[in-house]
Structure formats: C-alpha cells, structure tokens
Amino acid sequence: MQRLIPVLNKDHVPLHLISVINTLLTAAKEISHRLHQGSLAGTLGSTLDENIQGETQKKLDVVSNQLIKNMLLETNLVRAVASEEEDDIVEGNPDAKYLVAYDPLDGSSNIDINGSVGTIFSILEVPDHPAEGKDMFLQTGDEQVAAGYILYGPSAMLALTTGQGVRMYTLDHTVGEFLLTVDQVKVPKDTREFAINMSNSRFWNKPIQSYIADLIQGEEGPRKKRFNMRWNAAMVSDVHRVLCRGGLFTYPADCRNKKKPCKLRLLYEANPMSYLVEQAGGRCSTGYERIMSLQPTDIHERVSVIMGSSNEVEVCLDYHKKIP
C-alpha cells in the first residue's frame, strides 16, 4: 500500500504544501493516540472556559488546538493560522506562503462517550493583493489549495484533496503512517439516506421542513421511496458516510438563536468539507448559493449547509426555489 508523501509527489503537489499537510498529520497522530487512551490519558471532560463560538471547551478541544497550532507555526511554512478555538488569528512566519484554517476537534460532544470525532483543515495561500491580519483568510472556498479531515473512528482515516479528486488513507499504527486505501472517492448521485438533527425541526425554515417531511413519508409520499436517517453528531463522521456511500448531510439555519441562526463555520467546516464533497462529484449549497463561492466577511462566520449526492441536493434546492 502506498504512503501519503509519494502519492502527493506523484500529483506534483508543491514540497512546502506537502510539509504543511504532513505536519497536520503528525498532530493528528498525537490526537488519535490521546483519544485511544481515553480516560487513561486524563484528557476527557470539559474545561471551565468558553470559546469565541460561545461553546464550553472540552479539554481535548484545547489540547488538539494547541498541538496543531504549535506544530504548524514551528514549520516556518505558515504565515498564520485561524482556529475554531482561537478568538483571533495567530501569526507565524511573515514571509511564509500558507494559511491554515482548522477545526481541531469536530463533534466534541462525542468525546466523553467514546464516539467518533475528527479534525478538519483548509489550506489557503497568502493573497497577492495587500491584506493583513484576519483579512488574509477572507477568501472564497474556491481558493483553497488543499483541504481534508482526519476521522478518529474505529480506525483513523484521512480524506484529502489538493484539487485532483479525493483520496482516503488509513493510519497504520504499526508503522505510524497513513496508507492509501481508497484511490478515487466518488459520491453516488442518488441516495436513500439523509443526516440532520431532527430535534430542531420546529425551528427550521419552510423549505427544509417541507423537504424533510416529504422524505419521511417514504413510499407513500411524493418521493415514492423509503429514506433512512443517520446522525452521528460529528460533521466529519456524517460527511465521511456521505463520501463512502452517498447521502445528504444538512445543518440548516434555524430560529433557536436569532443572533446565530447557523451552527457550522464557513472557514473551518463548510468550505473544507465542500471542497472534498465537490471533488468527489457531490454538491454543496447553503440552500440558495454554492458554499465555495461565498465571500467571507469574518473568520468565524457561520453558514447553512446542505451537501452530498448531487441529485438529492438538487431536489432539496428545488424546495428552496419553490417555497418562500
């Protein structure tokens, strides 16, 4: 089985970009190790702190964030990092070319129940036009040069794109390396599976309420087929299922909290996952616009997310067109 670096070399990925990706994976191996140790490592449970997102931080949110940040900045190949767990960007080498935005631990509510979690990353280049500080990160998803996630499940897996399709690698603990296990990931166009947190249904907008209501009517409803629902409460794990066997994943806007109608973050979650899903032939939208075309105005910006099997996303978007 092939190791990651020779595969990236064959794809002519620039050497410094390979180093940045490899550094993220070194941090991921350490996170994977700590997750495997569970209670034995003394890192389960919450801190007393709240992050900029208004969420109570788990100890592993903080540990993972520090590991990734420190390792990336030590490479001298990174100009700055932006993280779900940091209020502001953290600057590195002023002459470096790369910017990394990341969600150090996705699905943190699963940590204490030994459920699947992940790390999501998005790599951008420093823009040509003069930009300083946070503004450097305010680029559309189309400008990403690489994106991926590491899923810490029964095995640790990496899904990665550098714009030449999506490959998956599995961490071989015996050699400490990610080995190529799926060469060209393709999301089937049609599906009978969807992923959504149904408990929020009373807060959704009309198009999503109507679309999901029709799905769960099964054969008797307008869709005339039975749909199954899956929800792991970790975007990495739910989107991994979509990449493996199709499906529609959505975290739509809702009216629980007027100030924050959307949950998922554009830079750390929606854009990198969209890059993977589109590179695997799927489709990604807010319901009204393609996610990777959005111009961010803030590093912590949130968006409504609908992604997955292209024909199914299309059906969901029709509801948004027809229903005000």
Task: Report the binding-site residues for substrate.
Answer: 106-109, 197, 263
Q: Among residue numbers 83 through 102, which ones bind ligand AHG (CB under 6 A)? A: 84
Residue 235 interacts with ligand AHG (CB under 6 A): yes or no: yes
Question: What are the residues whose beta carbons fall under 8 Å from the beta carbon of 289, sequence distance 6 or more?
Answer: none
Distance of closest approach, residue 249 Cβ to ligand AHG, in angstroms: 8
Which structure tokens are listed for 253? Answer: 């806007």
Q: What is the DSSP letter of 12?
A: T
Residue set of the binding site for Mg(2+): 84, 103, 105-106, 269
Distance of closest approach, residue 267 Cβ to Mn ion, in angstroms: 11
CB-count exposure of residue 167 (10 Å: 0-12, 13-18, 19+): buried
Q: Among residue numbers 260 through 299, which ones bind ligand AHG (CB under 6 A)? A: 263
> Considering CB under 6 A, how many residues would be counted as binding ligand AHG?
13
Among 21, 103, 116, 152, binds ligand AHG (CB under 6 A): 103
In three-state secondary structure terms, 267 is helix
42 CB neighbour count, 10 Å cutoff: 10
Distance of closest approach, residue 12 Cβ to ligand AHG, in angstroms: 33
**Residue that is written with structure tokens 């999501």 in the block:** 120
Among 21, 68, 159, 234, binds ligand AHG (CB under 6 A): 234
Helix (H) or strand (E) holding 87: none
Distance of closest approach, residue 117 Cβ to ligand AHG, in angstroms: 8
Binding site for Mn ion (CB under 5 A): 55, 84, 103, 105-106
Helix (H) or strand (E) holding 278: helix 271-279
Q: What ranges in 157-264 are assigned the alpha helix state H?
A: 206-216, 235-245
Residue 108 interacts with ligand AHG (CB under 6 A): yes or no: yes
Interface ranges with ligand AHG (CB under 6 A)? 55, 84, 103, 106-109, 197, 233-235, 251, 263
